[in-house]
Structure 1
Amino acid sequence: MQGQKKMDTIRRIKTASGHLKAVERMVDEDKYCADVLLQLQAVISSLEKISNIILENHLETCMRSAILRGEDEEIIRELKTFMKYKRG
């Protein structure tokens, strides 16, 4: 990963980390459950955005190269793995 995508990914990871630390602090301080859940949703949303950026980069770089090399079976197996873990 390079350039703007890498910088965006790192920025989003730091944001997600901050949200997660806030969740930890809120649980430790026995904050209202609904507030903790809202903060936790921010973590989940951040991680989904990070995952999408990395997947997009992978499709545009690594998988494109694999297609050109004729590695069809490996690509299909990899895509199936991604689909198992994709929410929705």
Structure 2
Amino acid sequence: MTKSPLHATHPGVVKRLKRADGHLRHVIAMIEEDEACTDIAVQLQAVEKAVTAAKRTLIHDHIDHCINADGEADLADMKALAKLL
């Protein structure tokens, strides 16, 4: 039985991260095959953007769903999240 995710965005975040993982594996292969550093750097930039987008989606979703109904949130949690954006 598959447990449903707490947040609706989690499956999409997992999908993005799996895609980034495949992309990163390709970058590793590029390095091992001694491809041009400029090409590798461009591909690393793409991986970095994909991971950053997944992180932001996860954090924004957490903020949307984990703030109490009365608008209160754990201040320490919010400060920690703010550092990650």
TM-score, with length taken from structure 1: 0.76
**Equivalent pairs: percent with the same residue?**
26
Q: Distance in 2 between matches of 1:56 and 1:83?
A: 10
Q: Which has the higher contact order (CA 8 A, sep 6+)?
A: 2
Indicate whether 1:35 and 2:34 are aligned: no
Choose which of 11, 15, 18 in structure 2 pairs with 1:11. 15
3-state SS in 2 of match to 1:30: coil
- Relative to structure 1, is the Cα distance of residues 58 and 13 closer, same or farther in structure 2, using a 3 angstrom cutoff? same
**Number of residues of Structure 1 aligned to a counterpart in Structure 2:** 80
| Distance apart, 1:69 and its partner CA | 8.8
TM-score, with length taken from structure 2: 0.78
- Relative to structure 1, is the Cα distance of residues 7 and 85 closer, same or farther in structure 2, using a 3 angstrom cutoff? closer
Contiguous gaps of at least 5 residues in structure 2: 1-5
